[in-house]
Amino acid sequence: MMPAGATARAKTANRGRAGLSNATPIYAQLIMHFRHRIQTGVWRLGQTIPALNDLAAENGVTRATVRQAVGFLHREGLLCSRRGRGTEVIGVPRTNLWQQLPDSWEELVRSADSIEGDMLELARPMRLPEAPQTEKGILAPGYHVVRRLLKRDGIPYLVGTSYIDRRIIAEVGEAALQRGSVYRAMEASRKFRPARGDQLFTLGMADAELAFLLEIPLNAAVVQVLRWVFDAGGILIYQSEGQFRSDFVQARRRLI
C-alpha cells in the first residue's frame, strides 16, 4: 500500500498535470507547452521565464523534467540562461518555413533544387525486401539506398530514404547523388523512364532516432510520405519513404 504522504503527493502531481496526457512523454508535452507560450506572447522576447522549481510545481512534475524541456528550447534558440538573471526568451518559433507537398513529379524535381541536405548514408546496392503493399510491380535487379537529412534555412525538416534502381545509378554514378538532389540525378539517366507514379500521405509519431535528427520531441507528430515510380514494363525503379516535421509541411489543394 502506498504511504499516505506519497498518496497525497501523487494526487497533487496529478492535479498539476491536468493539462498533460499520459500518451506522450511529459518532457515532450512541456516542450510543446512552453513553445506555445512563446509563440502566443505569454512569454515575450526578453522576458525572464519562471524558475525551474516554479514551473515544476505549476505542472506537477520534477525539476529534472522541466530542465530537460527547457534545455531543448535552449538548443532550439528560443531560451537562454544568464547568470544572475535567470532564463530569458531570446527567440520565437519559426512560422514561415512551410514546405508545400508537390502535386506532380515535375514539381517535386523543381522543389528539390533549393534543398540543403546532409547525406546520412549512401548504402551499397541491395534488394528491397518486398514490393510496396499497395502496388503491383516488378522488382528491379537491385537498388541503391540513399538516406538524407534535409534542411530549410538550416533547420532539419525531413528524413528521407530513397531506393533507386541500381541500373540508373550505374549510368550517372554515385557522385551525382552527392552533388545534388536524387531526382535530378535520376532525370540525368537515359534509363530513367517513368510511366506511372503514386504518393501516399499518412500521419505518424517520431521515434527516438527521428526525434533526434529532426530536433523535435519524442512522439511528436510527423507526416509520412511514400512514393513509388514504375517504368512502362511495371518495374519499380524508384521508391521513397520520408518523414517530415509536421510543423514544416502543408498540402494545399483546390476545392472549387
**Residue-wise pLDDT tens digits, 187-238:** 999 999 999 999 988 988 898 889 888 878 778 889 999 999 999 999 999 9
Domain extents for the chain? Answer: 4-89, 99-250
The pLDDT score that the predictor gives to residue 15 is 38
The pLDDT score that the predictor gives to residue 235 is 92
Count Cβ atoms below 10 Å from residue 57 Cβ, excluding itself: 16
Each residue's pLDDT tens digit, 126-183:
655 444 444 567 888 888 888 889 887 677 889 998 899 999 999 999 888 877 788 9
Fold adopted by 4-89: Arc Repressor Mutant, subunit A (1.10.10)
pTM confidence score: 0.63
Q: Rounded CA gap, 182 and 116, in Å?
A: 12
Count Cβ atoms below 10 Å from residue 192 Cβ, excluding itself: 20
DSSP 8-state symbol, 48: B
Q: Rounded CA gap, 97 and 221, in Å?
A: 17
Q: Which CATH superfamily is domain 99-250 in?
A: Chorismate lyase-like (3.40.1410.10)
